[in-house]
């Protein structure tokens, strides 16, 4: 990182791409990942067609005036993600995964898990799990799915809803 006024180097960041060369400019993205009012950044450090992309994150530390990696940046960067979003109004982070909810209505790839940030750690506050069941009976092949929703209530994750659908997307009773 260099200062705009005179080009003086301010910080050297080690960035390792797992799958070969990266295009820093095309994969750079700035967000306030810890909701402290300072922009942080991430870059794509690996990409797999079947499992999505992997980003590495750095948070700005105003005390040292440097970008740092910590527990939060490690947790955000440990998985191959289909989707991650930062909601500064709710102060929440959402993660979804490629293929989640396929064949099951009333789900979205943008739903998976939601976190809030406390002391540079992710606290799970919402989870939506999709299970797809397939089989064959006397009427032929069948498929249905179950969507189980859990939320953080009183310090523990609790199931707050279960919905079941047939292969046509119609609710099952």
Cα 122 versus chain centre, distance: 11
Q: Of 81, 104, 127, which closes a domain?
A: 81
pLDDT beyond 90 at 79: no
Percent of the chain scoring above 70 in pLDDT: 76
Cα end-to-end distance, the chain, whole Å:
58
Considering the domain boundaries, does residue 6 fall inside one? no
Q: Once rounded to an integer, what is the mean pLDDT over residues 120-146?
A: 83
User: With contact defined as beta carbons under 8 Å apart, do 70 and 58 qualify?
Assistant: no
Give the HSE-up count for residue 114: Cα atoms under 13 Å, Cβ half-sphere. 16
Cα 140 versus chain centre, distance: 38
Q: How many domains, the chain? A: 2
**126 plus 53 within the same structural domain:** no
Contacts 24+ apart (CB under 8 A), 123-126: 123/152, 124/152, 124/157, 125/92, 125/151, 125/152, 126/150, 126/151, 126/152
**93 plus 62 within the same structural domain:** no
Q: Which residue has the higher pLDDT, 8 or 47?
A: 8
Considering the domain boundaries, does residue 67 fall inside one? yes
Considering the domain boundaries, does residue 162 fall inside one? yes
Considering the domain boundaries, does residue 10 fall inside one? no
Q: Of 54, 81, 108, which closes a domain?
A: 81
Residues 47-70 have pLDDT tens digits of 655 455 678 899 999 999 999 999
**pTM greater than the 0.75 cutoff:** no
Mean pLDDT score across all residues of the chain: 80
**95 plus 172 within the same structural domain:** yes
């Amino acid at each position: 990182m260099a200062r705009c006024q005179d080009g003086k180097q301010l910080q050297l960041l080690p960035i390792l791409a797992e799958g070969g060369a990266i295009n820093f400019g095309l994969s750079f993205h700035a967000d306030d990942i810890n909701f402290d009012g300072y922009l942080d950044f991430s870059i794509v450090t690996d990409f797999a067609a079947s499992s999505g992309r992997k980003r590495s994150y750095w948070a700005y530390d105003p005390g040292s005036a440097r970008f740092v990696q910590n527990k939060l940046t490690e947790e955000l960067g440990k998985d191959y993600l289909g989707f991650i979003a930062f909601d500064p109004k709710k102060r929440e982070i959402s993660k979804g995964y490629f293929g989640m909810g396929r064949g099951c209505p009333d789900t979205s790839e943008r739903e998976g898990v939601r976190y809030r940030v406390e002391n540079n750690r992710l606290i799970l506050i919402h989870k939506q799990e999709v299970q797809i069941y397939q089989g064959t009976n006397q009427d032929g092949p069948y498929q249905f799915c179950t969507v189980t929703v859990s939320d953080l209530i009183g310090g523990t994750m609790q199931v707050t809803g279960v919905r079941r659908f047939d292969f046509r997307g119609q609710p099952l009773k």
